[in-house]
Structure 1
Amino acid sequence: MPARPHSPCVEAAPNGSFFHPDVKEAFMNAVTTEIPALAHDAGVPPAPPEAHRTADELRDIPLKRLVASPYNVRRVPPTGIKELALNIWKVGLLQNLIVHPMKVGARKAQTFGAAAGERRRLALIYLFEHDYIPADHPVRCRVVPVEDAVLLSATENEMREPMHPADACDAYRILVEAGRSIEEIADLYGVHPKTVQRRLKLARVSPKLVDLFRTGEVKLDQMQALALSDSHDEQEAAWFDAEPYNRDAHAIRRRFVRDEQSFVSNRVAKFVGVEAFEAAGGAVRRDLFSAAEDAWYRDHALMLRLATEQLEALGASVLAEGWAWVKAMPERDHATRSQFRPVLPRRTEPTDEVAKELAAIDQRLAEIAAQWEADDMDDEVAERLELEEGALSMRQDEIEGSLLVYHPDDMAQAGALLSLDANGEPVIERGLVAREPVAAATTESGENGDDDDDDSSDGRPARVAAPAVKPTKGPHSERLMLRLNAHRTAAVAAALAQQPHVAHAALVHRLLAGEYGHSTEASALDVTFRDHSHNLTKHAPELDDDLAFTMRREQRRVWGGVIPNDSDALLRWLIEQTDERLLLILAQYVAASVDSVRPDERPHAINALIPALGLNLADAWQPTKAGYFDHVSKDRIVDVVSAAVSPSDAMRVAKLKKGDAATEAERLIAGRGWLPEHFAKAEVVRMKLWDVPAKASDAEASADEAEADEPALAVSADDVRDDAAVAEGEGMPPRD
Structure 2
Amino acid sequence: MPVRRTGSYPLLFTMTTGKIIMKNTHVTPAIETGNIQRIAIKHLVKSPLNVRKKGSSGIGELAALIAAQGLIHNLVVTEQKKKNKKTGKYEVVAGGRRLDALNLLVAEERLSKESEVDCRIVGPEEALELSLTENSGREAMHPADLVMAYRNLTEAGLSPDEIAPRFGVSPLTVKRYLKLTHVSPTVFKLYAEDEMNFEQISALALTDDYELQERIWNSTPAWQRSGSTFRRLITGTEIDIRHSPLARFVGIEAYEAAGGLVRRDLFGKENEGYIQDAELLESLALEKLNQAVEAIKGEGHAWAQCHTTFDHLDRAEFVRARTIRREPTAGEQAAMDALDAEMEAIGAEFEGYDEETDEDGETYAALEKKSEAIQGKIAALNESLEEPDAADLAIAGVIVTVDHAGELRIERGLIRKEDAKKLPKEQGGETGLAASGQGEVARPVHSEKLTRMLTAHRSAAIQAEIMNRPEIALAALVHQLALQVFGSGYRANRIVQVNIEQTYLKKDAENIGQSRAAIAIEEKRVYWTERIEAAGQGGKTLFGWLLEQDLADLHDLLAFCTAVSLNTVSGRENAPSDGVAAIMTALSLDMADWWEPTPENYLLHVSKDRIIEVVGEAVSPQMAQTMTKMKKGELVESANAKLSGLRWLPDTFKAG
TM-score by length of 2: 0.58
Contact 1:625 1:662 in 2 (8 A): no
Give the aligned residue type for 1:207: P
Measured after TM superposition, the shift of residue 203 of structure 1 is 2.2
The question of whether the paired residues in 2 share the 8 Å contact of 1:172 and 1:196 is answered with yes
The corresponding residue for 1:591 is: none
Q: Which amino acid aligns with 1:659?
A: V
2:261 paired with 1:301: no
8 Å contact 1:56–1:143 — kept in the other structure? Answer: no
1:16-31 mapped onto 2 (5 Å cutoff) = none
* 1:352 lines up with 2:327 in the alignment: no
2-structure distance, mates of 1:534, 1:362: 43
How far the C-alpha of 1:227 sits from its partner, in A, is 1.0
Query: 1:210 is matched with which residue?
Result: 188
Q: Show CA shifts across 1:429-469 (max 9, x none).
A: 123344445779xxxxxxxxxxxxxxxxxxxxxxxxxxxxx
Q: Aligned match of 2:263 in 265, 285, 295? A: 285
2:408 matched to which residue of 1? 426
Write the distance in 1 (CA, Å) between the matches of 2:344 and 2:642. 53
1:401 is aligned to 2:363: no
- Of the structure 1 ranges 188-197 and 405-414, higher mean CA displacement relative to structure 2 is found in 405-414
Deviation, structure 1 residue 330: 0.8
Secondary structure of 2:81 counterpart: coil
Alignment-derived partner of residue 39 in structure 1:
none
2:309 aligns with one of 325, 331, 334: 331
Distance (Å, rounded) in 2 between the aligned partners of 1:243 and 1:370: 62
The aligned residue for residue 435 of structure 2 is 529
CA contact (8 A) 2:67 2:166 kept: no
Distance 1:410 1:183 in 2: 65
Q: Cα distance, 1:62 vs. partner?
A: 0.9
Q: 207, 214, 235: which one pairs with 1:236?
A: 214
Residues 199, 399 of structure 1: alpha-carbon distance in 2 compared, 3 angstrom cutoff? same
Which of 173, 184, 200 does residue 222 from structure 1 map onto? 200
Instruction: State the Cα distance separating 1:356 from its structure 2 match.
Output: 1.0
Distance (Å, rounded) in 2 between the aligned partners of 1:126 and 1:204: 36
Give, in whole Å, the separation in 1 of the partners of 2:440 and 2:447: 10
2:80 pairs with one of 96, 102, 106: 102
SS of 1:431's equivalent in the other structure is strand
Counterpart residue number, 1:76: 54
- Cα distance change on mapping 1:230 and 1:386 into 2, 3 Å: closer
Alignment of 1:644-723 (within 5 A): 657-659=634-636, 676=650, 680-682=654-656
Q: Note if contact 1:104-1:111 (Cα within 8 Å) is conserved in structure 2.
A: no
Q: Is the 8 A contact 1:72 1:116 kept in 2?
A: yes
1:542 to 436, 439, 448: 448
SS at match of 1:93: coil
**Does 2:169 correspond to 1:263?**
no
Over the residues paired in the alignment, what is the CA RMSD in angstroms? 5.3
Superimposed CA distance per residue, residues 44-63 of structure 1 (whole angstroms, 9 cap, x where no aligned partner)? xxxxxxxxx97943332111
Deviation at residue 229 of structure 1 after TM alignment:
1.1
Matches within 5 A, 1:131-280: 131-158=109-136, 160=138, 162-239=140-217, 249=227, 251-280=229-258
- Structure 1, 75-84 or 143-152: larger mean CA deviation: 143-152
Q: Give deviations 1:313-364, integer Å, cap 9, x for gaps.
A: 3333333545454322113388875554433566565453332121233355
SS in structure 2 of the partner of residue 535 of structure 1? coil
User: Partner amino acid for 1:421?
Assistant: D
Q: Distance in 2 between matches of 1:232 and 1:627?
A: 24
Any stretches of 5+ residues in structure 1 without a counterpart? 1-52, 441-525, 547-578, 582-595, 641-655, 683-736
C-alpha separation between the residues in 2 aligned to 1:618 and 1:159? 53
| CA deviations over 1:473-509 (Å, ceiling 9, x no partner) | xxxxxxxxxxxxxxxxxxxxxxxxxxxxxxxxxxxxx
By how many angstroms is 1:68 displaced?
A: 0.9
1:40-59 pair list within 5 angstroms: 56-59=34-37
SS of match in other structure, 1:429? strand
Q: 1:681 to 1:405 in 2, by over 3 A?
A: closer
Specify whether residues 430 and 264 from structure 1 end up closer, same or farther in structure 2 by C-alpha distance, changes over 3 A only: same
Task: Write the deviation string for residues 24-68 of structure 1: whole angstroms up to 9, x where unpaired.
Answer: xxxxxxxxxxxxxxxxxxxxxxxxxxxxx9794333211111111
Report the CA distance between 1:243 and its aligned residue. 6.8
The question of whether the paired residues in 2 share the 8 Å contact of 1:63 and 1:135 is answered with: yes
Q: CA–CA distance in 1 between the matches of 2:413 and 2:112?
A: 74
Q: Which amino acid aligns with 1:427?
A: R
SS of the residue corresponding to residue 103 of structure 1 reads strand
The amino acid that maps onto 2:654 is A
Measured in 2, the distance between the counterparts of 1:91 and 1:345 equals 78
Match of 1:453 in 2: none
> Quick one: which amino acid aligns to residue 217 of structure 1?
E
How many angstroms apart in 2 are the aligned matches of 1:638 and 1:94?
A: 69
Q: Is the 8 A contact 2:321 2:389 kept in 1?
A: no
How far did 1:628 drift? 7.5
Q: CA 1:537/1:240 → structure 2, altered by over 3 Å: closer, same or farther? A: closer
Does structure 2 retain, via aligned residues, the 8 Å contact 1:100–1:115?
yes
List per-residue Cα deviations over 1:580-622 (Å, max 9, x = no partner): 79xxxxxxxxxxxxxx999xx9xx9x75995499999999xx9
- Matched-pair contact (CA < 8 Å) for 1:418–1:429: yes
* Count of residue correspondences: 475
Distance 2:325 2:182 in 1: 65
Partner Cα distance (1:352, 1:664) in 2: 71
What is the aligned counterpart of 2:602 among 604, 616, 625?
A: 625
Residue in 1 that maps onto 2:90:
112
Q: Is the 1:625–1:663 contact (alpha carbons within 8 Å) kept by the matching residues of 2?
A: no
Contact 2:93/2:131 (8 A) holds in 1: yes
- For 1:432 and 1:336, locate their aligned partners in 2 and report how far apart those are by CA, in whole Å: 12
Measured in 2, the distance between the counterparts of 1:136 and 1:421 equals 64
1:120 CA drift (Å): 1.0
Q: Distance in 1 between matches of 2:55 and 2:583?
A: 62
Deviates more, 1:420-429 or 1:187-196: 187-196
Identity %: 32
Contact conserved, 2:450 with 2:605, CA < 8 A, in 1?
Answer: no
How far apart, in 2, do the equivalents of 1:159 and 1:358 lie? 76
| 1:493-536 Cα deviation digits (max 9, x unpaired) | xxxxxxxxxxxxxxxxxxxxxxxxxxxxxxxxx99532759937
State the alpha-carbon separation in 1 of the partners of residues 226 and 261 from structure 2: 26
Task: Give the Å deviation of 1:181.
Answer: 4.0
For the residue of structure 1 that corresponds to 2:113, the secondary structure is: coil
Q: Note the 1:510-529 alignment, pairs <5 A.
A: 529=435
Deviation by residue 1:187-231 (Cα, 9 ceiling, x = unmatched): 443334442232111122222332332233333333223212112
Q: In structure 1, the residue corresponding to 2:109 is in which secondary structure?
A: coil
Whether the 8 Å contact between 2:450 and 2:602 is mirrored in structure 1 is no
CA distance in structure 1 between the partners assigned to 2:58 and 2:269 by the alignment: 23
2:296 & 2:451 partners in 1: Cα distance? Answer: 23
Q: Cα 1:537–1:223, aligned 2, differ >3 Å: closer, same or farther?
A: same
The one-letter code matched in structure 2 to 1:164 is H
Structure 1 residues 534 and 188 mapped into 2: Cα distance closer, same or farther (>3 Å)?
A: farther
- The alpha carbon displacement at 1:117 in A equals 1.1
Whether the aligned pair in 1 keeps the contact of 2:603 and 2:636 (CA below 8 Å) is no
Query: Which protein shows a greater Rg?
Result: 1
Change (3 A) 1:351 1:89: farther
Give the residue type in structure 1 aligned to 2:78: H
- Listed one character per residue, the Cα deviations across residues 387-428 of structure 1 (whole Å, up to 9, x for unaligned) are 665443222113333455668997776432122223333321
In the alignment, is the contact (CA less than 8 A) between 1:618 and 1:675 conserved in 2?
A: no
* Aligned counterparts of 1:439 and 1:544: Cα–Cα separation in 2: 34
Offset at residue 305 of structure 1 (A): 0.9
